[in-house]
């Protein structure tokens, strides 16, 4: 499945998707229609509690909509707000190793580790213990883990919320570069409540009162 998808352009499509958590009568997501069909830097902005993480859980099929349907064909990876909730191993190499397809030679494994560390600006960090990394470096390691497992569609749930401004910009820039890679551009869906991050996106939508707006260019984006 993974190899099969590797050279395809991933896509997701929501058709009239509605969702509410058990015991809540109001729809948190209401008749949501959108699609992402090409690589690029896609951002969804919304206030705390607007349902952004829920939207990602629907995309990831962790939860199922009560109404509507979700069509997708993508090898989805996740980057969460807090990398400490995601990183399991004591150093960068071992963390990358648990994410790699082990069906390749040792030489290829080493090359791939070097390649993805370079892609996230962490060349030479292979042996570094995770506890010596900054928050931003840990977040970049989680991105490298998604890349090394050949994910072609990465969902990032407020990945800069816990970072200082320098690290925040670095992570934004890395994702930006990955989405414009001329050989194999990534599809990234970035969730944020920080409006200043929207300028990095190719397209922006706002989640509000259960509705997701249509995609807009960041320069034309208006929020209420
Ligand atoms: N597992 C759950 N069960 C019930 N309610 C939940 C659950 N997860 C989230 N919620 C509620 O759904 C709303 C939206 O949550 P969430 O999707 O996490 O929003 P956001 O990521 O935009 O802050 C919140 O009011 C939250 O309390
Ligand atoms: Mg959230």
Is domain 1-75+152-224 in CATH 3.30.300.130, yes or no? no
| Domain residue extents for the chain | 1-75+152-224, 86-150
pLDDT above 70 covers what percent of the chain?
96
Q: Full-prediction pTM beyond 0.75?
A: yes
- What's the confidence (pLDDT) of residue 8? 81
Residue among 54, 82, 156 whose CB has most ligand 1 atoms within 8 A, to mutate: 54
Q: What is the pLDDT of residues 61-118, one digit of tens each?
A: 999 999 999 999 999 999 999 999 999 999 999 999 999 987 899 999 999 999 999 9
Q: Which of 143, 16, 2, 17 is nearest to 73 (CA)?
A: 2
21 Cβ below 6 A of ligand 1: yes
Q: What's the gap in Å between 137 CA and the centre of ligand 2?
A: 21
The ligand minimizing its distance to the Cα of 158 is 2
- What's the confidence (pLDDT) of residue 190? 98
Output phi, psi for 126, to 5 deg: -50, -45
Q: What's the gap in Å between 72 CA and the centre of ligand 1?
A: 23
Q: What is the pLDDT of residues 144-197, one digit of tens each?
A: 999 999 999 999 999 999 999 999 999 999 999 999 999 999 999 999 999 999
Mean per-residue pLDDT for 40-55?
97
49 Cβ below 6 A of ligand 1: yes
**Number of residues in the chain:** 224
> Contact 70/54 with Cβ under 8 angstroms?
no
- What's the confidence (pLDDT) of residue 77? 96
Question: What's the mean pLDDT when you consider all of the chain?
Answer: 94
The ligand minimizing its distance to the Cα of 161 is 2
The ligand minimizing its distance to the Cα of 55 is 1
CA–CA separation, 139 and 137 (whole Å):
5
Of the pLDDT bands very low, low, confident and very high (cuts 50, 70, 90), residue 13 is: very high
- What's the confidence (pLDDT) of residue 25? 83
Q: Which of 5, 9, 171, 134 is nearest to 75 (CA)?
A: 5
Asked if pLDDT for residue 6 goes beyond 90, the answer is no
- What's the confidence (pLDDT) of residue 4? 52
- What's the confidence (pLDDT) of residue 1? 45
Asked if pLDDT for residue 3 goes beyond 60, the answer is no
Q: What's the gap in Å between 158 CA and the centre of ligand 1?
A: 14
- How would you class 211 by CB atoms within 10 Å of its CB: exposed for 0-12, middle for 13-18, buried for 19 or more? middle
């Amino acid at each position: 499945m993974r190899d099969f998808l590797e050279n395809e352009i991933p896509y997701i499509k929501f058709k009239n998707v509605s969702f509410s958590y058990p015991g809540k009568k109001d729809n948190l997501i209401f008749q949501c229609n959108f699609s992402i069909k090409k690589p690029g830097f896609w951002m969804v902005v919304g206030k705390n509690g607007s349902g952004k993480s829920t939207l990602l859980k629907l995309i990831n099929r962790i939860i199922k909509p009560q109404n509507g349907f979700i069509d997708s064909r993508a090898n989805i990876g996740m980057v969460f707000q807090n990398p400490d909730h995601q990183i399991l191993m004591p150093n960068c190499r071992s963390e990358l190793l648990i994410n790699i397809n082990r069906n390749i030679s040792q030489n290829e494994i080493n090359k791939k580790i070097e390649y993805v560390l370079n892609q996230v600006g962490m060349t030479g960090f292979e042996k570094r213990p995770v506890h010596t990394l900054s928050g931003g470096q840990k977040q970049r390691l989680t991105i490298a883990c998604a890349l090394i497992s050949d994910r072609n569609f990465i969902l990032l749930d407020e990945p800069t919320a816990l970072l200082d401004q320098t690290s925040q910009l670095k992570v934004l820039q890395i994702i930006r570069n990955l989405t414009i890679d001329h050989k194999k551009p990534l599809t990234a869906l970035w969730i944020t409540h920080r409006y200043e991050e929207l300028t990095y996106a190719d397209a922006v939508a706002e989640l509000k009162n259960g509705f997701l707006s249509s995609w807009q260019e960041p320069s034309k984006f208006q929020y209420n």
